[in-house]
A = this chain, B = another copy of it.
Amino acid sequence: MSRRSYSQFCATAKTLDVVGERWTLLIIRELVTGPKRYKDLLESLPGIGTSLLAARLRHLESAALVRRTELPPPAGSTVYELTESGRDLEPAIMAIARWGLKWALGEPTPDEVFRPGWAVLAMQAAYDERAAANIDETYEFRVGDDVFHARVQDGAVQGRHGPAHEPDLVITATAEAFMQLAAGQATIEQAAKQGRITAAGSRIALRHCSAIFKRP
């Protein structure tokens, strides 16, 4: 009944009291790119088990990091979305992702699952600040049935779920090819030239996009 707590007067420990349990931060990660339904969360978190997801969501709701909302008609489905305090975890998740990109990610292995949204968040976590400076463009990524976009503005990047408003570039790729990009095995420009992905839009935007998200 009583949640486990570190009982430390420490900002780090207090945060982990709220989001430190298994799966919790990954649920937040899923919601950073936009609201999701229960079954979409289940789909993105293989292995979580339905009752544990429900318990975590209940906890995050009671901690006011997540809100249950009815989507406006005609959708009408109930979705989970981040509140202000939940969104405020984005910098922490990005810092964690940067560490993983540098020290732990490596090459994909056959037993690892992959979702395009994770790569979009990685793009937001680690982009080339020099290349992104003074750019105001939006790139749309269509990967299998999933659509994401990355907005580059004011030297920052936002990776979000759903189509872009007026994209300067539309990248279409298989999940396989997109994962290769996330693994840093090629730049977007190279993959487009080789026909492994298709890029529709201005050639300039393609060059920008490739430079901003080139992995070193």
Residues of A in contact with B (beta carbons under 8 Å apart): 4, 6-18, 20, 22, 25-26, 29, 46-47, 85, 88-89, 91-105, 108-109, 111-115, 118, 121-122, 125, 179, 182-183
How many copies of this chain does the complex contain? 2
Residue contact A14 to B105, C-beta cutoff 8 Å: yes
In the complex, A91→B111 CA distance in Å? 30
Query: Which of B14, B25, B46 makes the CB contact (< 8 A) with A16?
Result: B25
In the complex, A108→B9 CA distance in Å? 6
In the complex, A104→B6 CA distance in Å? 13
Residue contact B113 to A14, C-beta cutoff 8 Å: no
Q: A91-B98, A103-B85 are in contact. Are A112 and B8 (CB under 8 A)?
A: yes
Residues on B with C-beta less than 8 A from A15 are 96-97, 99-100, 103-104
